[in-house]
Amino acid sequence: MIFDLFKKNPFQKLESFYIAHNHNETLAKYPWMALAINQRTISDSILTKELVLNSHFSKETPPVSFQMAELKSGIAHHVFQGKEKIYSGNMTNEMEIINTRVLFNNILDAFIEKELKTFTCAMNESEFSPRQMEAEDKAVEWMRVSFEMLIKAVLESLTNPEYLFQTTFFAGVNPKTKMNEMRLICFNLDMTFLLLEDKNLRVIIYNVKPGEKPGDQKPALSGDYSFRKREMFDQFIQLLSALSKGMHA
């Protein structure tokens, strides 16, 4: 079991198990992923990342959470099985720190790649009506302008010490809706991409204003798209690519 490996040698054993030997099986076992960066920080941390892998197909398989915090003295890392902390430690050895960062990013990238592939395979399918074209053109342009501004803000937060890079990302099969979903919350934008049964792409984006209550929020962009869905999803992929520097930090 994955948890037994943690107790013996938490990160190196997991890397061998997850990346080299049983990659596909593990992806299937934990179909819902959540990533939080600088949302729940460890004291004195320069950067705190938390990755949660959730299995909602079996009550006997609780979520697995990896928390990694960059400290001036090294790395603090914790592993949870459900609510139970099954490992906690600190790393100061340079090679161990490098290997741990690589492992964390490998797990994250594997889940993102899996979900991107699922969405991308559906982008060439579905029918569309000419009447949709004008509305979809406007949606594509709105996304282009909004994402350009967001990318500039992200790059500023990664290079300017006065700003803090924060983001929350979800991917996989949503345990509530049972639909393939990718959701990204970064600065003022809260965006959800859903893959529908008819292979259309549902996009819901909120432009959250300071002090605005969740119940008062209305989507800045919302709809089911077919004609321009590939371009819309490509823009989302470009946004994730820009965010990867912060996710991999």
Same structural domain, 110 and 157: no
Mean pLDDT of 71-92: 84
Same structural domain, 142 and 188: yes
d(CA 150, CA 155): 9
Same structural domain, 92 and 200: no
Range of the domain at 197: 126-247
Tokens at 96, concatenated: 């161990």
Same structural domain, 85 and 132: no
Same structural domain, 101 and 183: no
Helix (H, G, I), strand (E, B) or coil at 161: coil
- Where is average pLDDT lowest: 25-29, 35-39, 105-109? 25-29
Same structural domain, 103 and 130: no
Find out whether 206 and 213 touch, Cβ atoms under 8 Å: no
User: What letter would DSSP give residue 214?
Assistant: G
Residue type, 207: N
Most confident of 99-108, 144-153, 214-223: 144-153
Find out whether 79 and 85 touch, Cβ atoms under 8 Å: yes
d(CA 86, CA 9): 12
Q: What is the pLDDT of residues 97-127, one digit of tens each?
A: 887 888 788 778 888 888 898 898 888 776 6
Q: How many CA atoms lie within 13 A of 97 on its CB side?
A: 14
DSSP string, 102-138: HHHHHHHHHHHHHHHHHHHHHTT-----TTHHHHHHH
Boundary of a domain, candidates 78, 99, 119: 119
- 49: Cβ contacts below 8 Å, ≥ 6 apart: 35, 36, 37, 38, 67, 68, 69, 104, 247
Which pLDDT band holds residue 146 (cuts at 50, 70, 90)?
very high
* pLDDT(10) > 50: no
Boundary of a domain, candidates 119, 134, 166: 119
- 207 CB-contact burial (10 Å; exposed 0-12 / middle 13-18 / buried 19+): middle
* Closest by CA position to 169, among listed 203, 146, 142, 193: 193
Same structural domain, 8 and 66: yes
Boundary of a domain, candidates 77, 95, 119: 119
Q: What is the pLDDT of residue 11?
A: 47
Same structural domain, 155 and 47: no
How many structural domains does the chain have? 2
Q: What is the pLDDT of residue 80?
A: 84
Same structural domain, 173 and 229: yes
DSSP string, 179-192: SEEEEEEETTEEEE
Same structural domain, 93 and 156: no
Q: What is the pLDDT of residue 2?
A: 41
List Cα–Cα distances, 53 to 16, 36, 43, 64, 175, in angstroms.
17, 12, 24, 5, 12
Most confident of 2-16, 26-40, 104-118, 136-150: 136-150
Same structural domain, 242 and 182: yes
